Amino acid sequence: MFVCGTLERTKWYKEELLRCVKSCITDEEVQFTVGWYLLEGISNGIQKEWLLEVLADYNRLYDIAISLSEKDIQVGRRPPLFREGDMVEVIVNAKNITYHKGIIHTVVYHFKDKEWNYYICENNKKVSKRYCAADLKLIQTSK
C-alpha cells in the first residue's frame, strides 16, 4: 500500500523515466536512466518493489530494472540534455560573463558533481570552459 504522497511521486518518476528514455540513443544510456529512476526513487523514500511494480507494464524497462545490481543503480544517471553536434549558446550571467555560440563537441559525465558537462566549439575553435546544462540554451539539434 502506498503512503500519502508516495503514489504521486512514483507516478512522476515513471513519467520522467519514460520521457528520458525517449532521448536515449544507446542501450547503455537506457540502463543508466533506469538506474537513475531506481536511485532517485529509493533515495526519496520509495520502496524498490513499488518502483518495479510501476514498470511492470513496460517489459523492456522492467527487465532492465530487475537485472541491475546495486552498483549499477548507484551509477544511474539521466541521459544528457544536449548531444554532440547540437548548436547552443551560453547564457550570460555572473558565472558566465562571456557570450559564446557554437556546437557541442564533447559531452562528459562528471561523477563528483553528478551532472553532464559540455564543451563547445565556436568558429572551429574549442572554448576551454566546461558548461553544465543550466549554462546553455539549445539553438538547433544535430538531428
Which range marks the domain in which residue 65 is found? 6-74
98 and 70 co-located in one domain: no
Whether 131 is in a domain gets the answer yes
Whether 113 is in a domain gets the answer yes
43 and 91 co-located in one domain: no
pLDDT of residue 61: 94
Q: Which residue do the cell numbers 562571456 mark? A: 98
User: Which H or E run contains 29?
Assistant: helix 27-43
118 and 61 co-located in one domain: no
pLDDT digits (tens, 9 = 90+) for 114-141: 899 999 999 999 999 999 999 999 998 8
Residues 109, 110, 111: CA angle, nearest 5 degrees = 105
Q: How many domains does the chain have?
A: 2
pTM of the model: 0.78
69 and 43 co-located in one domain: yes
